[in-house]
Chains A and B, each alone.
Chain A
Amino acid sequence: MTWADPSERVTGASITSAIWNTQVTNSRNITYNQIQYGIAAASENKAIGAGGVLAFDTDFSVYEGYSNHVNLDRLYAVVTGLHLFAATLVFSGATALTLRKNGSSLRSLGSYTYYNDTALIYLEAGDYIDMTCATARTLSAGSGIQLKLLTGGWTDYSYWGEV
C-alpha cells in the first residue's frame, strides 16, 4: 500500500517506524531548530581598538551550536537558511560598523553611536558572524547581537515509500 502524495495516509495503512521517524521526529527537530536563537552580549564595558572585533563575553544562546563557547564574539549558524540578524549596540562615540561573515566583510552598516537594527541575511551551517568597529571606542555593557533562523532546517522528505 502506498502513501498518498505527499504524506497522507489511507485507511488501513500502517505507520511504520521509518515513516514515524522521518516525518514526526524530523518535524519535531525542525521545530526545535526554528524556535532557538543565539545571543552574544557584553556584561561590562569593553574597550575595542580601531578595526577590532566587538567583544562579547556572555552567551545567551538557546541552542547548542550558536556559540562555540570559545569565541564569544561570534554567533554561528546551526542550519543553512535565511536568518534574522539583530544588534543593539551603544558606543562611546560614533564609529563605522561592519557585519562580517567568517571573518570577511558581509555588510557595511554605516557610522553610529547607537545602533539598533535588524536584517535578513543568508548563512550556511557553520558560518559565523561577528562585528567590527572602525574607530577605537568603548562598547557599553548590555550591548549584544542576535541570530535567529527563519527558513531552512526543513528536511527534503525523500521517503514517502511503500509501507
Chain B
Amino acid sequence: MGWVGQRQRATGDLIDADVWNYLHVDSQIFSEYQIQSGAFVTKSGAQLCAANDLVTFDTEVLDTDDYHESVTNPERLTSAVSGPVILSYYVPTDIAASFTLMVNGNVFVGAFEGTSTIFCKTIYLAPAAGTYMTLRCNTNGATVAAGAWAAIKQEAIGNV
C-alpha cells in the first residue's frame, strides 16, 4: 500500500526502517537542537572593570552545547553551529556604565544607548559556527554586580 504524500501513512501501511529513520529520527534530532540548545551563565562575584575589560561569567546554570567554559575564556559565548541566535545580557553596575558587544573580538554593536547602571539587552544575530560573543565594559571603574547573566538560545539551523 502506498504512502499518502510524503508523511502521511494509510491504514495498513508498514513503518519500515527508512521511513522511521527519515521522518521520525531526523525530525527528532532537528527538534532536539531547536528545543534544547542554549546557555544561561551567571557571575558568582562582582567584577571591577577597567575600561575595555570583558565581562566574565563563571557559573553555568545551563549549557547544552559548550557555548561557555569558565577557565580559559569565561567571557565568551561561542556559537555551536551556524544560524540565528537570541543573545541576552543583564549586567547591573554600581555606577553608570556603557557596554559594547564584541563578535570574534571586533566591535559588533557600538556602545548601546549611552550609560546606565542596568545594562539589559536582547538581540538577534546570525553567527557562523565557532563565532564567539563577548561584552566589553567601556567605563573605567565600573563594578559589575554578582548575579549578572548572559544567555544564548540557538534558533533555526535549517532542516536536516
Q: Which residues of A contact B25 (CB under 8 A)?
A: 7-9
Given contacts A109-B118, A122-B61, contact A82 B24 (CB under 8 A): no
Q: Are A151 and B116 in contact, CB atoms less than 8 angstroms apart?
A: no
Q: Are A120 and B86 in contact, CB atoms less than 8 angstroms apart?
A: yes
Given contacts A9-B21, A117-B122, A120-B151, contact A151 B37 (CB under 8 A): yes
Interface size on A, residues (CB 8 A): 32
A70 proximal to B (CB < 8 A): no
Query: Which of A82, A107, A153 makes the CB contact (< 8 A) with B153?
Result: A82
Interface size on B, residues (CB 8 A): 32
A18 proximal to B (CB < 8 A): no
B17 proximal to A (CB < 8 A): yes
Q: Are A15 and B62 in contact, CB atoms less than 8 angstroms apart?
A: no
Min CB distance B90 to A, Å, is 6
B1-39 vs A, Cβ < 8 Å mask (1 yes, 0 no): 000000000000001110011001101100110111110
A81 proximal to B (CB < 8 A): yes
A13 proximal to B (CB < 8 A): yes
Q: Are B28 and A23 in contact, CB atoms less than 8 angstroms apart?
A: yes
Within 8 A of A (CB), among B84-140: 86, 88, 90, 92, 116, 118, 120, 122
Min CB distance B50 to A, Å, is 25
Q: Which residues of A contact B61 (CB under 8 A)?
A: 122
Could you say which of A9, A31, A152, A153 has the most chain B C-beta atoms within 10 Å of its C-beta?
A9
A68 proximal to B (CB < 8 A): no
Given contacts A24-B24, A27-B28, A122-B62, contact A34 B17 (CB under 8 A): no
Q: Are A151 and B64 in contact, CB atoms less than 8 angstroms apart?
A: yes
B57 proximal to A (CB < 8 A): no
Q: Which residues of B contact A118 (CB under 8 A)?
A: 88, 122
- B150: nearest chain-A partner, CB-CB: A120
Q: Are A150 and B116 in contact, CB atoms less than 8 angstroms apart?
A: no
Min CB distance A129 to B, Å, is 14
- With contacts A34-B35, A119-B122 known, what are 14 further pairs, Cβ within 8 A? A8-B20, A8-B25, A9-B20, A10-B17, A15-B20, A82-B38, A82-B153, A110-B116, A118-B122, A119-B120, A121-B151, A122-B62, A150-B86, A151-B36
List A residues at the B interface (Cβ < 8 Å).
Answer: 7-13, 15, 23-24, 27, 30-31, 34, 81-82, 84, 107-110, 117-122, 150-154
| 3 interchain residue pairs of minimum CB distance | A120-B151, A120-B88, A122-B40
Q: List 27 A-B contacts (CB under 8 A).
A: A8-B25, A9-B17, A9-B21, A11-B17, A23-B28, A24-B24, A27-B24, A27-B28, A30-B31, A34-B34, A34-B35, A82-B38, A82-B151, A84-B86, A109-B118, A110-B116, A117-B122, A118-B88, A118-B122, A119-B90, A120-B38, A120-B88, A120-B153, A122-B151, A150-B38, A151-B37, A151-B64
